[in-house]
Each structure stands twice: as structure tokens, then as C-alpha cells.
Structure 1
Amino acid sequence: MIKKSVVACLIIILCYVFQTTIFWHLRLANVVPNLMLIYVVSTGYLNGRREAVLVAMGCGLLSDMIYGSVIGLHSLIYIIIGFIAGYGHNIYLKNNFSLPLLLIGICDIVYGFLYYVFEFLFRGKLDIMFYFGKVILPETIYTMLVAIILFKLFSVINRFTHPGSNKEEY
């Protein structure tokens, strides 16, 4: 249990650091991939809702503390994403890589939409098509491209932190 918690905390911190440093300099279409979302969705897909929600809480609180305009906004969004992604654990298909990638893409769109609603729509900024075209869609594509590599890495790490898991065949 402690090994899983320590590894999860390290991965959350590494995802945040890479997202805000290395990938900030590797922006495409002026967006960066959401590495913490990839980790939350991967955790949900591989380990279920409970672990995904806990990881989501860690990711959200870190995001809120560092650059959140409202404490709890990112936490709420990541928890919703983790809960949704946890349903993928129930429909897990062995050696099917397209399902987690699709789940990451859908969850990134949900993340972008919820962020738009809470940050912009409530302030009267109603141009969702602009936000979708300039932020949500490019970020989703970039996140899915990076997820191809990171999901496999998280699956390997999951094999060591969850011995005996039936989800270790990636």
C-alpha cells in the first residue's frame, strides 16, 4: 500500500513537472498535453474508480495550489474524470490499446468543456466554438499522441506496483 502511494505521488509530481517545463517548450498549436489527465485515466482504466479518484485528488490539488484561480476547481474536474475513467476498468479488453486511447481523448474533451464552463461560461464569455477549436481540440490531439507512449509506461509501472493484477498484459 505504501509502495503504491509513494509511486503515485512521484508520478503525479513528475507529470506536473514535465507538463509545465519540458512540454511547455514543446508546445504544438500553443497547447501542452495534459499529462496528469493521462495518468488519472490510465489509473482508472488499469485499477478502477477508487484509485483513479484518489490519484485525481492528488493531481487536482497540486494543480489548484500552483496555478488555480479557485481552490478545488481542478480537483473537482479531475475527480469527475477519474470516476468516468474508472468505468473503463469494467470493460477492459486484454491487449486492446485503442480503448484506453479513446477514453483519454473523451476525458480530455470533458476536461476542457468543464474547465470552460467553470472558468469562462460563468463569467459571461460565450464563445465556446473558439475555445473548442483553439484549445480543447488541439490539446486533445496532442494529449492522445503523448498518451501512446505514456499509457504503455504507466502499464509497466502498474505491473510492479500491483502484482497479481489481471491487467498486466500490455
Structure 2
Amino acid sequence: MRNGIAFILLWAALTLQATVFQVPPINVVQPDLVIVVMVVVALTRGPKTALILGILVGLCQDIVYGTFIGLNAFTYAVIGYFAGTVFAQFLHRNVAITFLVTIFFTFINVWITYGLERLFDVTGYTGQVVLRHSLAQMIIDGVTLLILYPWLVRLLVPRKRRRYPEPEADGGSA
């Protein structure tokens, strides 16, 4: 059930990223919502689920918006899997660790995409331009994560069920 919710959230992030954040007043700041949601999915659902969902959402993005099929599927799968693996190393999963992992993997995403596009001679950007873009994207995605983190965790983490009801406080007996 939660994996289905994770896929729907990733799909909604992809849709918002491709539609709403392309409108001229808003397109000045374009967060990579798929990466932000993918990191939280990796935190809450684990690396294998994040890998599979990354491939699915990446293929959807490649088919509809990509220059060639497989680029985003590969990068989202790598980011989902390794973000989930990094989270498995920490005992406490909190917003600070999630923030650091998000900005790190945003940087990795930009450079993997640039490297593959450069390998296939699809881009003409220089490394300096990509570095400036990656640093700006890290800031934007970090702020976006801080805004969305409470809602995403609430949707993706199952609530703990209590086995026994809490004892009621008696006012008179001691």
C-alpha cells in the first residue's frame, strides 16, 4: 500500500515538475521534485523499492520528455538505491541527515546526467556551467525538502498501532 502511495507521489512530483514549474513566473526556481521525493522514498521504503520506483518514474520521464530513453531511469535508479543504502548506515533518520543526503544526491544527479549527455555528445555545456547549475540546484532542492519533509514522511511512514490501549488516568485512586 505504501509503495503505491510512493509511486503516486513520484508521479505527482514528475507531473508538477513538468507542468507547473514550467510556467513563466514560477520557472525562475525549478526544484527537482522527483529527486526530493525519491530521497524520502529511499529513507522510508528502502533501497530496493526506491530502485524500482526510480526506474519506473525515470522511464516515464524519458519516454515523455527525454532526449533519449534510459538517462533519467538510470540516474533515478542509482540515486534511489544509493540514497536508501546511505540511510541504512545511520541509526537515526532525521531531517538533517535527509537534507544532507538530498543535496549530495542532487549534485550526483546533475553530474551523472551531464556525464552521460557528454558521453553521447548530446550537450554542449562546459563543466563550469554544470558546476554552477548543480550548486544552485542543491540549494533549491534542499529548501524544497525542508518544506515538504513533514508531509512526505507522514504519507510514507506507516503509523504504529498500539497493541494495548493506554491506561486511563484515575483522578482519585493512588
Supply the distance in 2 between the matched residues of 1:44 and 1:148 (Cα, whole angstroms). Answer: 16
Q: Counterpart of 2:36 in structure 1: which amino acid?
A: I
**Cα shift at 1:7:** 1.6
SS of residue paired to 1:120: helix
Structure-2-length-normalised TM-score: 0.81
**Cα shift at 1:140:** 1.6
8 Å contact kept, 2:3–2:45? no
Higher helix proportion: 1
Pair 1:55–1:156, CA change in 2 (3 A): same
Name which of structure 1's ranges 34-43 and 124-133 shifts more when overlaid on structure 2. 124-133
In structure 2, the residue matched to 1:27 is 27
Pairing 1:79-94 to 2, within 5 Å after superposition: 79-94=77-92
**Cα shift at 1:48:** 1.5
Give unmatched runs, 5+ long, in structure 1.
166-170
In structure 2, the residue matched to 1:41 is 39
Structure-1-length-normalised TM-score: 0.82
8 Å contact kept, 1:47–1:89? no
Deviations 1:104-140 (A, max 9, x none): 000000000011111135428461111221x222122
**Cα shift at 1:93:** 4.6
**Cα shift at 1:56:** 0.7
In structure 2, the residue matched to 1:15 is 13
* Paired positions, count: 158
SS of residue paired to 2:30: coil
Name which of structure 1's ranges 57-66 and 89-98 shifts more when overlaid on structure 2. 89-98
Supply the distance in 1 between the matched residues of 2:20 and 2:125 (Cα, whole angstroms). Answer: 32
Q: Percent identity?
A: 22
Supply the distance in 1 between the matched residues of 2:131 and 2:27 (Cα, whole angstroms). Answer: 17
Q: Counterpart of 2:56 in structure 1: which amino acid?
A: G
Pairing 1:1-170 to 2, within 5 Å after superposition: 3-25=1-23, 26-28=26-28, 31-94=29-92, 96-123=94-121, 125=124, 127-133=126-132, 135-159=133-157, 162-164=158-160
Whichever of the two has the greater Rg, that structure is 2
Give unmatched runs, 5+ long, in structure 2.
162-174
**Cα shift at 1:6:** 2.9
8 Å contact kept, 1:48–1:88? no
Supply the distance in 2 between the matched residues of 1:116 and 1:27 (Cα, whole angstroms). Answer: 21
Task: Give runs of ≥4 in structure 1 deviating > 4 Å.
Answer: none
Supply the distance in 1 between the matched residues of 2:134 and 2:46 (Cα, whole angstroms). Answer: 26
**Cα shift at 1:43:** 1.1
**Cα shift at 1:73:** 1.0
